[in-house]
Amino acid sequence: MKKTIIFFLFAIFFLQFANAQESLGTFKLGSNINLIQNCANSSYSYISSLLYPDSSFAISSQASMTKNVDNYNYTFNKTNFNGQYLVYGQCDEYGTPTNWGYSFQITKSGYAPASDFLEVFIYILFIIVTLSLFTTFIILLAKLATFEITLYNVLISWGIYILTIITNYLGKNYLMNNLVEDMTNGYLTYTAWTNVVFPLLAFIVVFFIRSMQKKKPMSVKELSGRLLRD
């Protein structure tokens, strides 16, 4: 079974590599891109069309490129959308009209977009975070009602919040859409109270109430709860 899974992952990687289109690279949203084309012994090179990620035209007529020895370049600054841009052009390499083309990626961070595996991983992480944030808050409320909140519960709640920060970072820098980033931004704003501040305050309240009931401070084992029992 293990060998089958490894073979399947290698097959996915190989297919992605085999189908990959020549790319200039990945650049940050809003940056100026130096489009370069190597045309040896060519007297001209121009861009015939440049397409946005939605297939609309950023350049729809001939745009001359500047010669630099055997290279030609063109500065493109209309990088206002995330996604893959397609560039097509022509030169007369060694006196023969030659069509050329390549792509480049624009992302918010300038990092390469997530692979299929990483994208699935981020979405799974997002689902786990979403369920865990609300579940831990409900559990804390129930434990507060019975004065059973321990340090272990506080650390679990804080850990889920840290996982939310990690998920937000991954969504912001590696996903092409903004769903995970926008949702986790909201989570970080509101659950800072429900999953960071509230657990600590609830723990302090339980500590004082149980200490007063016993007429002595709670022991380390009682404070730690499952953390020490395990």
Find where tokens 């820098």 sit. Answer: 173
pLDDT of residue 149: 83
The enclosing domain of 46 has a CATH number of 2.60.40.10
123 with 220, same domain?
A: yes
pLDDT of residue 212: 75
**85: β partners:** 104
If asked whether residues 167 and 90 sit together in one domain, one would say no
| pLDDT for 218 | 52
Question: Looking at residue 222, what is its pLDDT?
Answer: 53
Out of 107, 135, 150, pick the residue that ends a domain.
Answer: 107
Residue 32 placed within a domain: yes
Report yes or no on 7 lying in a domain.
no
49 and 66 both lie in a single domain: yes
**Cβ density class 10-45: b for 16+ within 10 Å, e for less:** eeeeeeeeeeeeeebeebeeeeebebebebeebeeb
90 is in which domain, residue-wise? 18-107
Same domain? 192 vs 151? yes
Q: Is residue 9 part of a domain?
A: no
Residue 12 falls inside a structural domain: no
3-state helix, strand, coil in the chain (%, to 5): 50, 25, 25
CA–CA dist 58, 38 (Å, integer): 22
Determine the pLDDT at residue 226.
Answer: 47
Question: Mean pLDDT per 10-residue run, the chain (230 residues)?
Answer: 39 38 86 91 92 93 88 93 93 90 91 90 96 92 85 91 95 89 94 92 83 60 49
Q: 84, 107, 130: which is the final residue of a domain?
A: 107
Q: Among residues 79, 107, 110, 92, which one has the least CA distance to residue 37? A: 92
Same domain, 123 and 209: yes
How far out from the chain centre does Cα 201 lie?
33
> Do residues 218 and 142 both lie within one domain?
yes
Residue 147's pLDDT is 81
Is position 1 within any domain? no
